[in-house]
Chains A and B, each alone.
Chain A
Amino acid sequence: MIDLVVKSCGPMTALQDRGRFGYQGFGVSPSGAMDRRALAMANALVGNPPDTGAIEFVNLGGAFTCDGGDLRLAVAGAGAVASIDGTAVPPLTSFILREGQTLEVGHPRTGTFAYLAVAGGLAVEPQLGSLSFHLRSRLGGLKGASLQAGNRLPCRPEGQAGEPMELAADISEETGPLRVMLGPQDDYFTPDSIRLLLESEFTISPQADRMGFQLTGPKLEHAKGFNIVSDGIVDGHIQVPGSGQPIVLMRDRQTAGGYPKIATVISADLARFAQMRSGTKVRFRAVERDEAVAAARQLRDWIASLPTHLTPVRYALTTEHLLSRNLIGGTVDALSPVSHD
């Protein structure tokens, strides 16, 4: 086994995959990667299936070494970039981390969540079928915990020798309103409140984390009170407590709750929303099921197509790498990235 060793990382750095399903009836949140697209990209770069567990960075990056062999790795999401011993790796490119080198994953720059994937996935025991860390359930991650300096993540030796690749596909930066479907409890709100939801601008407050994003904006008035007998919650539900200020519920949400939910962000727009930072202004647009399902299929197809956008890397990453391929003589002081075409 080869270990990926954590030298330093932010406090919320943890393992995430697609999520833990089948236990919501026992009160366990699904959790899972906040940006499925970025997770899929990092995984595609190292030849993994799209939902394979990876390290999720939240606002802050981290530093890593390897022990027992070299590792093939990739970083994707929110414009975070990797560097090896201080030399930047080109974005959306997989790379080899050799023993004795230090990998630094920079902080997510254009959003909040970035991913580090390792070829073959992490050889960490899943809990209840998933690697996804969930704080309140004490499940997933490394024995129910997030990552910290000194942790060793076992990786499989197979597959580490593969070719570094670059991905010629990126997340399309849409800027339009977030698409929602009204319901399940839109009838608990006045018609004016529905109009306000769909025609006003809301701001993502500093209270935004893996559980939910609190928004500030015009007060949404309830037509028949704000307490309901708890019912099921899904990712993207926009619940409105007594304050009239909506909260969009995210991956670490509870499984059931007692506030009316005015609308639900469609699944295809959740990752884009997750990457919006506190202070970002958002608008909502209501769509019908047909449009939401078409968008979900489009996202599924985009994720499935990622491997077809891979090409062998055109950059030589390190002097050592160039030497190993007999591309340059031993005396050349080559620094990467070096284009050799």
Chain B
Amino acid sequence: MPTPKILPCGDSALTVEFGSTIDPALNAMVLALDEIVRAHAPAGLIETVPTYRSLTIQFDPAATDYDALVRLLDQETKDLAPRHAVGRRWRVPVVYGGAYGSDLEEVAEIHGLTPNQVIEIHSSAIYRIYMIGFLPGFTYLGGLDKRIATSRRLHPRAKIPAGTIMIGGEQAGIAPMDMPSGWHNLGLTPVRPYAPERDPVFLFAAGDEIVFEPVDASRWEAMEKAVRAGEPVAEEIRP
């Protein structure tokens, strides 16, 4: 792996860039360095923001020894071991198709599959959370089976409901709240990755894994009631 680049982001941040593409190997390095920087907690550190391919480190310019920070990063990235091990894997129940996933049939048609085949393919993959961004709790998931990778919609929707299970290009995601989207809606989950009034506020973290479990629409009401009562409904399972 080439040496990561340190890019200046003004006087209060820098970005350690491992590459320019979406690649699980790069992301594993990002998460590994994130863990190291947070453990070191150099003076002045405000926070770290891991993304697909880079780690942005924000600090107080008046309290940070910038040269020492760069030396630490140079040293730690030299023999960095990727962080592939994931702490948690989550099972997320999904009601697919119909009013729950209005694009399921269209996606099936595009790929010459039946809706059930799309469900089968979508729910047998293990997804990895590469990053959380765009909105609070929005998970960018890698691991979508190429057989159902679908370019984004020509006409984005102004609003899709919270809990929408969607795919766009080779990515997959879960809508944490009502949001605009150009991706395709396959189904709906009552699970809320983000709930400001709940403890924990965020269910998932970058590096976690997610599997989707198809469930019957008859279970929707009971699951939704549990979520309203503050239960996660997403279930932590052993990999």
Residues of A within 8 A of B (CB): 21-28, 127-128, 136-139, 144, 180-185, 228-237, 254-256, 261, 264-268, 289, 292-293, 295-297, 299-300
Number of inter-chain CB pairs below 8 Å = 147
Residues in A with CB closer than 8 Å to B51 are 229-232, 256
Residues in A with CB closer than 8 Å to B135 are 27, 136-137, 254
Best-buried of B50, B132, B177 by chain A (most CB within 10 Å): B132
Distance between Cα atoms of A70 and B10 in the complex (Å): 44
Task: Indicate whether B99 reaches chain A with its CB closer than 8 angstroms.
Answer: no
Q: Name the 8 nearest CB pairs between A and B, nearest first.
A: A232-B56, A264-B10, A184-B7, A292-B11, A256-B133, A296-B61, A232-B49, A183-B8
Give the shortest distance, in Å, between B184 (CB) and chain A (any CB): 19
Residues of B within 8 A of A (CB): 7-15, 17, 20-22, 34, 46-56, 58, 61-62, 66, 131-138, 140, 176-177, 194, 196, 201-202, 205-206
Contact assessment for B15 and A137 in the assembled complex, using a CB-CB cutoff below 8 Å: no
With A231-B17, A231-B53, A296-B62 as contacts: A266 and B47 at CB distance below 8 Å: no
Give the shortest distance, in Å, between B149 (CB) and chain A (any CB): 16
Distance between Cα atoms of A182 and B8 in the complex (Å): 8
Residues in B with CB closer than 8 Å to A234 are 9-10, 12-13, 56, 58
Distance between Cα atoms of A309 and B13 in the complex (Å): 32
Residues in A with CB closer than 8 Å to B15 are 184, 231-232
Q: Return the contact of A230 from the options B13, B17, B62, B131 (Cβ within 8 A).
A: B131
Contact assessment for A264 and B8 in the assembled complex, using a CB-CB cutoff below 8 Å: yes
Contact assessment for B136 and A25 in the assembled complex, using a CB-CB cutoff below 8 Å: no
Distance between Cα atoms of A267 and B64 in the complex (Å): 14
Q: Return the contact of A264 from the options B9, B52, B62, B137 (Cβ within 8 A).
A: B9
Contact assessment for A27 and B137 in the assembled complex, using a CB-CB cutoff below 8 Å: yes
Nearest opposing residue in chain A for B179, CB measure: A136
Distance between Cα atoms of A1 and B84 in the complex (Å): 52
Best-buried of B12, B50, B131 by chain A (most CB within 10 Å): B12
Nearest opposing residue in chain A for B55, CB measure: A232
Contact assessment for A296 and B11 in the assembled complex, using a CB-CB cutoff below 8 Å: yes
Q: Return the contact of A26 from the options B55, B58, B137 (Cβ within 8 A).
A: B137
Distance between Cα atoms of A255 and B52 in the complex (Å): 13
Can you list 24 A-B pairs, Cβ within 8 angstroms, ordered by A? A24-B47, A25-B34, A26-B201, A26-B205, A136-B135, A139-B136, A180-B10, A182-B8, A183-B9, A184-B8, A229-B20, A229-B21, A230-B131, A230-B140, A231-B52, A231-B54, A234-B10, A234-B13, A254-B134, A256-B131, A267-B10, A267-B61, A292-B61, A300-B62
